[in-house]
Amino acid sequence: MNTRSLVAAGLIVLAVVACDAAPTQPVGASAPLDADVTAAIQDIGHQFVDDEGLVGLAIGVVRDGRIVFSEGFGHADALRSRTVDDDTIFDIASVGKQFTAAAILKLVERGLVTLDQRVRTVVPELPDHFPDATIDQLLRHTSGFVGASLNEADPPDDHTRPRYGIDLLTDIELQGGDTRFAEQETWVYCNPGYLVLGLVVERASGIRYDDFVRDELLVPNGLVDMTVCERAAAPRMSDGLRRTVDGVAPVPFIDMTAYSGQGSICSSVTDLLRWSRALEEGRVITLESLAQMRTPSTVIGTTSQRTIPYGMAQRIGAIGAYRKVGHTGTYDGGSAALASYPAAKLEIAVISNTRGAGTPHAHEIETRIAKLLLGHDDPDVASLRRPVSAEQQLAIEGTYVGEDTFEALIEDDDLVVLRDGKRIERLVHIGDMHFRDPASPDVFEWFPMDGDRAGWWVYSMSGNIIEVLRRASR
């Protein structure tokens, strides 16, 4: 995974339904949470700043359609001269992909593009090694293209100056990537696909990507402090920070236009919650389009089709009995998470400004707050242990590929994960070829069948799909 995508391992297949009915109450001030719950969330924020290495973060919560918690913790710069509050603006990285997906769906609603349209009919200048995928496949990361990595610690010169339109086709992740799988053969998180989708927005609308998102999605919903393809003015804008053994320092400058459709939004935590409310209430796109956005994706194997819990810039999962939808974002200077639990009428946003040296990701904080508010306790994984049958062992064991290559081995009913011949994980079988990490109960791994063998190996953490591997020998 490149640095703007969340990296981790684990997954469970989760039954999903179309979009739940959105609450209709307006966003605004509301009666506060119970004092003990408020104090518990504050304790979580302080802990991650005081003890876990984050310089600053912001946490926000919506319940029953109203913002009931919105606070900042720590500082917005390495010198710790600016405190974070709920108006501090952060780079939200790949959480911004949902703005691109919403822009595409709005164009679909207007009849300007169709989801089954081939992307080259809209952007014929694409390099030859990029697949002639459909718009839907790019939205769902099922085009078969695997992007190269961008070293954000040493960015190319053209990533440090403004670039728009076709100039973005020099993107290093796009130019250095390759088409590794057939269309819809598997799911591979693909930043270049969303960069191309930003160009689709421009070509179909006749309006530059940043102008379209701002004028068509943000301003009509009162999100006037969000920025697209640019950072907010100081002092409200948090720095992006990297922690190393030598301390904390700002990350190298990359112009926000370099990310365009793949994640170029900067937002405060309160505005991110207001965006979430606008989506849930059908004010950005119709509720029918939102349901489509949150419909799982299909992968097509040698003999079977299976669903993957990712929609259009929406990771689909669950915390306990509660369905979870949303997205995460990661870059060298911070992380973000925005999650909605429709049945509980709960939304949570967390944004941090620090990565490196084992610092926690925003999704870990979001999940901890969700468990608190949903009353969920992790089970004792060892008590869920189930035997692996000989048929299941035969179906599972083998080599699987995605961006990287892993080996799956069954040993004493446990799944042993190998990379480059080294054991990196051991997980407990909890039944039906689903596995869970006893040390990190939020980590799941799951093997969908393709004929008489598992065809894919899926990973999620905290209800967020992370990666899907395809069996190498079928």
Tokens 């062992």, residue?
393
The CATH class that applies to domain 381-471 reads mainly beta
| Chain region(s) in the chain for CATH 2.40.128 | 381-471
Model confidence pLDDT, tens digit, residues 296-328: 999 999 999 999 999 999 999 999 999 999 999
Contact yes or no for 265/92 (Cβ under 8 A): yes
* Residue 473: predicted pLDDT: 72
**Which CATH number applies to 19-378: 3.40.710.10, 3.40.50.620, 3.30.479.30, 1.10.3720.10?**
3.40.710.10
User: What's the confidence (pLDDT) of residue 4?
Assistant: 33
The per-residue pLDDT for range 222-248, each reduced to its tens digit, is 999 999 999 999 899 999 999 999 999
Q: How confident is the model at residue 266 (pLDDT cuts 50, 70, 90)?
A: very high
Q: What is the mean pLDDT of the chain?
A: 93
Q: 329 pLDDT exceeds 80?
A: yes
Q: Which residue has better confidence, 20 or 443?
A: 443
CATH 3.40.710.10, the chain: domain bounds: 19-378
Q: What is the pTM of this model?
A: 0.93
